[in-house]
Structure 1
Amino acid sequence: MAFNFILVIAITLIIAFFLSKFLFKGKTKNLPKGSLGYPLIGETFSFLRAQKQDRGPEWLEERTSKHGPVFKTSLMGSPTVVVVGQAGNKFVLGAEDDVLAAKQPVTLVAIAGKQNIFELTGSRYRLVKGAMVSFLKPESLQNYIKQMDELTKTMLLRETENKDTIKTVVTMKKLTFNIASSILFGIKDEHTKEVLFDDFSLAFKAVWSLPVNFPGTVYWRGLRARSRIVSRILPILKERREEISKGTLSATSNVFSCLLALRDENEQPISDDLILDNYVTLMVASHDTSAILLSLMIWKLSTDPEIYKKVLEEQMDILRKRVEGAEDRLTWAEIQKMKYTWRVAQELMRIIPPVFGSFRKALKDTEYGGYDIPKGWQVFWVSHGTHMNKEIFEKPTEFDPSRFENPSKPIPPYAYIPFGGGLHTCIGNEFARVEVLPTIHNLVTMFEWSQVYPDEIITRQPMPYPSMGLPIKIKPRKL
């Protein structure tokens, strides 16, 4: 019986392979060089394995050295054209939505939802993006600096209470999830946040997995986690909608209220499904990428005494210059003074970008670099091709925050892209900054720490993290 099942699977894969060859034959004149890999699976396993070992750049270089900066492969169940370099970044990130749309892999669509902002186009995209931007712009975020400072202090004290060692990655994920839940969505209940945190952890792992919905798989667990998230958020949406109608909640209080107050071109409210999909998307985008950056910054400060000394000096100087009798809370003006600390973050994102690359989908036949890209294929851009290019960044392998202070030559567009670029610049880039800086401020001014494993390496899963979770020995700073 088992042999028959394996035989059926093998025959199906072989038929699918030859059928795909037949279907694509003749439809395009000049596909890029490269390999589509195994039937259905493509090169997904080798790509994910390279990511886990933080060998993504080597995986790319093996193929670009053989095929050039444009090559074909198959990733996450879809044929894919990979473009490497500044021109490729500009082609993808600057393309109009009717040519290349932010159609993500099936795994991300399943977890985030079909109406997440990356999938929307036209008027619906502009409507949802406008609501989010109205809350995420600097003028709005500066009103939440004191609250963010207080949340960060409280979380750090709670997570370090009666402990001399903490796991940095887990702590930073909890902290950023708490901040995003409280400030972006106004979710205050601690139990609700804890349960949602556990489910989001499962859901995020499923985003970069094979779309095999079989009991026990990562993808299966992620889908079930998303269902639980939706069930828990629906009553909150109902409650917020009632508060808005009664006038007890402002339409600008948080992202939920902004979305609930939206009206489409027919003056109809947008659906709960659309709000839920964008809640899941924004939570994944807002808390996990910031947790990565914070973990990497703590790792860097642990291993580089000179960088640590300069960051500590800048943050202590902010405390020293506070007017006597002033409230013991960070202000927007103080955040703007953290210039060196942010340059350290910028340099970390150059050398170890939180997002290795991102997918878009061809909505019609197009071409790039003299090659055809068929309608329906994915296009994948990567940050490595420009971030480590010595013609763009002098001595690119050296860690040098000053390159963002007064660069000898301006960084060209689409070359430094930790937050995307052009039409597709991340709308949460300012939120990331004002989330990271208060956390680092409180951490270095309140505590001293050292790594448990000084030789700990970075791995991608799929985001870059210290491989052992970065346990640190931590103690209160003596002022």
Structure 2
Amino acid sequence: MSSAIDPRIEEKPLPPGQNGLPLIGEALQVFGDRNFTIARHRKYGNVFRTRIFKTPTVFVRGLEECLFVLRNEGHYFQNSLPENTRKLFGEHSLANSTGTALAHRRKILSRSFRPRALDSYRKYIEETASRYLRLWAERRDIVMYDELSSFSLDLAWKLFAGIDNASQSEVGKLLKTWFAGLFSFGPIFPGGRAAKAFQARQKLFDFIRQEIDRRRLEDDFGVDILSILIQSRDENGCELSDRAIVDILLNILGAGFGTMTSALTSFFLLVGQHSNVEQKLRAEQDELARAQLPRADTIDRMVYLEATFNEVLRLYPPIAAGFVRVIKECEIAGYQIPEGWIVIWSIDATHLGIENDPNAFQPERFLSSPPTDFIPFGGGMRECLGREYARLEMRVLCSKALAHYEWELPRQDFTMTTLPVPKPKNGLKVRFRQRGEKQ
């Protein structure tokens, strides 16, 4: 694609940075070291360039810079995920959709995340949270990431596709395998994460397609996302194909399961490491309990819990960045960004770019003058549709855990890995018990 270059842009310099090694550039550092981008931003500012394999790539942080990218999709930029990720999501998924197709699919799905729909989800989330918390207290010693993975998996499959107890079934294992390889890069080796993810995707496709056929044959439609998709029409007025339905559903399931598992694990990790925050959270729960208000009313009054969620998402956003390709020469922060280059707009680097002690866990920063550089759910047409669902799930589980249970973190390696989502290297070992129970 060629375009005339605006002479005002042509006069601007390219972003500062370096190309790295022949053939691979700085791919190993980019995907293997979370601190790589942070260090480069400290050195160069909000915009720098590198090379990932053969592709010139620009990293962007900062609210203004990231929103410029997000709000100019279709004009200067085109969504451009890495090849393996793009194929694993599927061409009809929200992650790969653009323009009118993306807008139409978001409109269809938005029904599932409106206040009335969220209210209908609350009872099942409450029941599932209570069941899992009791189970953890009985087991005492658990690996929190694995347990939260099962919790979020059960919720996502039930509420979005009507499937019960998915964590105990083959379909749950398949979704976990698919998600584990979702952000794999480079060649696909037999037996590797990417290869297993593609195999799992095909089996998930077959399973969901059978469910689609059953619902159509039996005229059995509920109010979950799968039923909504089956009965919907695309932007041209045609029924969505089975492949489109599967692609869109897998995208939503992956977000509802994978990103929630990461965010909740980070919550239990950070609160478990900061007793001062834990005490304030418990005091808030105790005060609300004394007020004896209906549960539906109290859950929206948890101000400090909400601030803590925000601080968790600031430090460990489940989705760290987004990828776009430049389709028209443009300027970002005074730098020329050539057509054909890749731009990675960075959420985690944006969050860690604030001036006030960026690496410290301080929920209070969201109580008075919240940081403006805070975009855990993206923006523009890429803003997370399920953001209020995510907050509801976190409020329900974590408020119950704080009110009725306690947890400790035994000595272990707390190093965080980043792919496919942030999580403690060992899954986070936790000693869990009822509140007030002797050790």
Decide which structure has the larger Cα Rg and report it: 1
2:47–2:333 contact (8 Å) kept in structure 1 = yes
Closer, same or farther in 2 for the Cα pair 1:207/1:192, shift >3 Å? Answer: closer
Counterparts of 2:110 and 2:53 in 1: how far apart (Å)? 30
**Of 247, 261, 278, the match for 1:291:** 261
Deviation at 1:40?
4.8
Which residue of 1 is the match for residue 209 of structure 2?
A: 234
**Of 228, 235, 242, the match for 1:272:** 242
Deviations 1:206-248 (A, max 9, x none): 22222312312221111111111111111111223335xx3x5
Deviation at 1:33?
3.7
Deviations 1:445-474 (A, max 9, x none): 332221122663333234221222111112
Deviation at 1:99?
2.4
Q: Normalising by structure 1, what TM-score?
A: 0.82
**Of 98, 101, 113, the match for 2:75:** 98
Which residue of 2 is the match for residue 165 of structure 1?
A: 141
Counterparts of 1:193 and 1:119 in 2: how far apart (Å)? 30
Which residue of 1 is the match for residue 6 of structure 2?
A: none
Is it true that 1:209 corresponds to 2:184 in the alignment?
yes
Quick one: which amino acid aligns to residue 400 of structure 1? Q
Closer, same or farther in 2 for the Cα pair 1:240/1:453, shift >3 Å? Answer: farther
Indicate the SS of the match to 2:240. coil
Which residue of 2 is the match for residue 144 of structure 1?
A: 121
Deviation at 1:279?
1.3
**Of 404, 424, 427, the match for 2:385:** 427
Is it true that 1:388 corresponds to 2:360 in the alignment?
no
1:286–1:432 contact (8 Å) kept in structure 2 = yes
Deviations 1:11-45 (A, max 9, x none): xxxxxxxxxxxxxxxxx986434334345533222
Counterparts of 1:301 and 1:126 in 2: how far apart (Å)? 38
Closer, same or farther in 2 for the Cα pair 1:193/1:76, shift >3 Å? Answer: farther
1:452–1:470 contact (8 Å) kept in structure 2 = no
Closer, same or farther in 2 for the Cα pair 1:120/1:299, shift >3 Å? Answer: same
Task: Please list, as runs of the form range in 1=range in 2, the aligned pairs for 1:245-324 lying within 5 A after superposition.
Answer: 246=219, 248-250=220-222, 253-322=223-292
Indicate the SS of the match to 2:128. helix
Deviation at 1:90?
2.2
Deviations 1:255-301 (A, max 9, x none): 11111121134432111111111111111112111111111111122
Quick one: which amino acid aligns to residue 220 of structure 1? A
Which residue of 1 is the match for residue 27 of structure 2?
A: 44
Deviations 1:88-116 (A, max 9, x none): 21221221323222221112111111111
Counterparts of 1:265 and 1:296 in 2: how far apart (Å)? 39
**Of 356, 366, 385, the match for 2:320:** 356
Which residue of 2 is the match for residue 444 of structure 1?
A: 402
**Is there any run of 5+ residues in structure 2 with no aligned partner, and where?**
1-9
Which residue of 1 is the match for residue 3 of structure 2?
A: none
Deviation at 1:155?
2.8
1:93–1:421 contact (8 Å) kept in structure 2 = yes
Counterparts of 2:318 and 2:289 in 1: how far apart (Å)? 30
Deviates more, 1:65-74 or 1:215-224: 65-74
Task: Please list, as runs of the form range in 1=range in 2, the aligned pairs for 1:210-225 lying within 5 A after superposition.
Answer: 210-225=185-200
Counterparts of 1:339 and 1:116 in 2: how far apart (Å)? 35
Quick one: which amino acid aligns to residue 263 of structure 1? R
4+ residue runs of structure 1 moved beyond 6 angstroms? none
Deviations 1:420-446 (A, max 9, x none): 124432111111100111111222233
Indicate the SS of the match to 2:181. helix
Indicate the SS of the match to 2:199. helix
Counterparts of 1:91 and 1:82 in 2: how far apart (Å)? 13
Quick one: which amino acid aligns to residue 63 of structure 2? Q
Counterparts of 2:250 and 2:17 in 1: how far apart (Å)? 35
Indicate the SS of the match to 1:207. coil
Quick one: which amino acid aligns to residue 70 of structure 1? V
Deviation at 1:386?
3.3
Closer, same or farther in 2 for the Cα pair 1:143/1:90, shift >3 Å? Answer: same
* Identical positions, percent: 27
Counterparts of 1:239 and 1:192 in 2: how far apart (Å)? 22
Counterparts of 2:361 and 2:166 in 1: how far apart (Å)? 41
Indicate the SS of the match to 2:375. coil
Quick one: which amino acid aligns to residue 261 of structure 2? A
Counterparts of 1:371 and 1:417 in 2: how far apart (Å)? 23
Deviates more, 1:349-358 or 1:142-151: 349-358
Which residue of 1 is the match for residue 7 of structure 2?
A: none
Which residue of 1 is the match for residue 414 of structure 2?
A: 456
Which residue of 1 is the match for residue 62 of structure 2?
A: 85
RMSD of aligned Cα (Å) = 2.5
Closer, same or farther in 2 for the Cα pair 1:211/1:456, shift >3 Å? Answer: closer
Deviates more, 1:200-209 or 1:107-116: 200-209
Closer, same or farther in 2 for the Cα pair 1:388/1:312, shift >3 Å? Answer: same
**Aligned residues, how many?**
427
Indicate the SS of the match to 2:169. helix
Counterparts of 1:418 and 1:336 in 2: how far apart (Å)? 20
Deviations 1:385-412 (A, max 9, x none): 4323344xx33333221222221xx644
